[in-house]
Amino acid sequence: MNSSEENVECLIIGSGPAGFTAAIYAARADMKPVMYEGMQPGGQLTITTDVENYPGYPDGIMGPEMMDNFKKQAVRLGADIRFGMITEVDFSSRPFKCIADGMKTIHAKAVIIATGASAKWLGIPSEKRLNGSGVSACAVCDGFFYRGQDVAIVGAGDTACEEASYLAKLCNKVHMIVRRDTFRASKAMQHRVENTPNIEIHFNSETDEILGDNLVEGVRIKNVVDGSTKEIKLTGFFVAIGHTPNTAIFKNWLDMDEQGYLITKPDSTYTNIEGVFACGDAQDKIYRQAVTAAGSGCMAALDAERWLAANHHA
């Protein structure tokens, strides 16, 4: 076998809470896991500032530091963590064939997919500049920091309505920015928002600019019908226009829903291909929390360990 080829027992693709937890369990089970960290080493938590809802950190912890701790633990236990990306897979036969960085071929007996999902953004410069300084894509993660304050949320689907309702319990006022003259959300979610007194809905509106130099101080919204603009003072700006699972390279191999989330068998991390397991936000569109991702990473490693033991000739 030449240097551009390698045999591994367990390949982990992706490096958020799910991937690192899978690596910790796989390393302790002597599966000698090799992880490719992917485009965003550490995953979505690396763009999160304070994490206060992960158990075991009574004073909270910064997202990047937390992911660094996950990584150090995995390395200490023997995981081989590499900077780089899996760019192509071939699951037609075992061992599975995965291409790293478009060059190296990894032959893996078992594969754990933990590629996560990426939040969809509006794509305006002020949103990028103030990301983590008042701009967030997760109300459940960050809403607590805006207790008693005025905030805005952009979106028209069930997630946006759910997050607006959640924020309304914590915040003084929630401005909901909806691009069309109607919601996309289910009727029940619409009614919940419309009947919450401290949620103000701005229909036919889009975000023109998020205001503030170093922290969010307000938003300028534009009426898409008549072009008029208005400024609203607030301290938090939440984007809830959806997520995109990072699963494109698995398209012709694994079962996924219409949004691209990988489908796993009930109460397991098994995909439709035996020996390939999926965990974290690549297959979870409901909870999307660090702690649930970590839990599913543990499940994937245990599933892979048992599968390898039963199929040791794989």
Q: Mind telling me the catalytic residues?
A: 138, 141-142
114 and 253, same domain (yes or no) = yes
DSSP string across 245-310: ES-GGGTTTS-B-TT-PBP--TTS-B-SSTTEEE-GGGT-SS---HHHHHHHHHHHHHHHHHHHHH
- Domain count of the fold of the chain: 2
The dihedrals phi and psi of 171, each to the nearest 5 degrees, come to -100, 160
289 and 143, same domain (yes or no) = no
161 and 191, same domain (yes or no) = yes
- What does the radius of gyration of the chain's CA atoms come to, in whole angstroms? 21
258 and 200, same domain (yes or no) = no
Please say which residue of 218, 239, 260 terminates a domain.
239
**Residue 306: Cβ-neighbour burial (10 angstroms; 0-12, 13-18, 19+):** exposed
126 and 107, same domain (yes or no) = no
The angle at the Cα of 165, spanning 235 to 157, to the nearest 5 degrees, equals 100
82 and 217, same domain (yes or no) = no
129 and 177, same domain (yes or no) = yes
Q: What count of other Cβ atoms lies within 10 Å of the Cβ of residue 289?
A: 17
- 201-251 confidence digits (pLDDT tens): 999 999 999 999 999 999 999 999 999 999 999 999 999 998 899 999 999
75 and 136, same domain (yes or no) = no
pLDDT of residue 261: 97
Q: Rounded to two decimals, what is the model's pTM?
A: 0.83
- Domain residue limits at 58: 5-118+244-310
- CATH number for the domain including 204? 3.50.50.60
130 and 234, same domain (yes or no) = yes
216 and 130, same domain (yes or no) = yes
Q: Which of 34-48, 53-67, 143-157 has the lowest mean pLDDT?
A: 34-48
The rounded percent of the chain whose pLDDT value lies above 90 is 83
Please say which residue of 239, 272, 297 terminates a domain.
239
